[in-house]
Amino acid sequence: MLRNVCTSILTIFSALLFAAAPLPAQTAPAHGANNSSSAASHPPLSERVVAYQIDAKLDAANHTIAASESLTYHNLTGQPQQTFPFHLYLNAFQPQSTFMTEVRLNGTRGSNPGSSWDPKHEGSITVSQFEVDGQGDLTDRMKFIQPDDHNRNDHTVFEVTLPKPIAPNAFVTFRMTFVDQLPEVLERTGYKRDFVMVGQWFPKVGVWWKGSWNCHQFHATTEFFADFGTFDVKLTVPQNEVTGAGGKLVSSVDNPDGTKTVTYHSEDVHDFSWTASPHFTDVEDSWTGSAGEVKIHLLMSPGHMASTPRYLHALKGTLKYFDESYGPYPYGRITVVDPPHGGLEAGGMEYPTLITAGTTWWMPKGLLAPEVVVAHEFGHQYWYGMVATNEFEDAWLDEGINSYSEVKVMSLLYGADTSVMKFPYGTFGEAELQRSSYLAVPDTDPITRFAWQFADSNAYGAVTYGKTATVLLSLEKMIGEDTLRRALHTYFMRYRFTHPTGTDFEKTIEEVSGQDLHSYFDQAISGTAILDYEVLDVDADRLNWYEKKSQFSPDSPGQMYHNSVLIHRKGDFIFPVDVQVKFSNGETVLEHWDGRDRWIRYTYDKMAKVVSAEIDPQHQVLLDSDLFNDSRTVKSDTHATRKLGNLWTFANEWLNQILAWLT
Query: For binding to another protein (CB under 8 A), which residues are involved?
Result: 193-194, 279, 302-304, 340-342, 360-362, 417, 421, 423-429, 432-433, 435-436, 439-440, 612, 614, 625-634, 636-646, 648-650, 652-657, 659-663
DSSP annotation of 592: E
Closest CA to 234 of 53, 50, 63: 53
Closest CA to 286 of 278, 294, 275: 294
Burial of 122 (0-12, 13-18, 19+ CB in 10 A): middle
Interatomic CA distance for residues 386 and 390, integer angstroms: 12
Nearer to another protein, 545 or 661 (CB): 661
Find the farthest-apart pair of alpha carbons in the chain and give their distance in angstroms, rounded: 111
Q: Are 612 and 633 in contact (CB under 8 A)?
A: yes
Nearer to another protein, 99 or 414 (CB): 414
Interatomic CA distance for residues 463 and 228, integer angstroms: 28
Closest distance of CB 403 from another protein, Å: 15
Nearer to another protein, 42 or 639 (CB): 639
Q: Are 70 and 55 in contact (CB under 8 A)?
A: no
Nearer to another protein, 330 or 415 (CB): 415
Interatomic CA distance for residues 211 and 198, integer angstroms: 32
Beta bridge partners of 581: 589, 613
Interatomic CA distance for residues 93 and 201, integer angstroms: 12
Closest distance of CB 272 from another protein, Å: 27
Interatomic CA distance for residues 458 and 221, integer angstroms: 10
Closest CA to 127 of 141, 139, 144: 139
- Secondary structure tally for the chain: helices H, strands E: 13, 32
How many Cβ atoms sit within 10 Å of the Cβ of residue 37?
16
Nearer to another protein, 100 or 441 (CB): 441
Nearer to another protein, 339 or 352 (CB): 339
Task: Give how far Cα 467 sits from Cα of 53, 349, 491, 620, Å.
Answer: 40, 20, 20, 14
Closest distance of CB 636 from another protein, Å: 5
Nearer to another protein, 493 or 627 (CB): 627
Nearer to another protein, 298 or 441 (CB): 441
Nearer to another protein, 111 or 217 (CB): 111
Closest distance of CB 132 from another protein, Å: 44
Closest distance of CB 71 from another protein, Å: 36
How many Cβ atoms sit within 10 Å of the Cβ of residue 519?
10
Closest distance of CB 360 from another protein, Å: 7
Closest distance of CB 194 from another protein, Å: 8
Closest distance of CB 629 from another protein, Å: 7
Q: Are 191 and 63 in contact (CB under 8 A)?
A: yes
Closest distance of CB 646 from another protein, Å: 5
Interatomic CA distance for residues 2 and 37, integer angstroms: 11
Beta bridge partners of 108: 111
Closest distance of CB 459 from another protein, Å: 14
Nearer to another protein, 167 or 611 (CB): 611
Task: Give how far Cα 334 sits from Cα of 202, 262, 284, 386, 498, Å.
Answer: 22, 17, 10, 14, 21
Q: Residue 646: phi, psi to the nearest 5? A: -60, -45
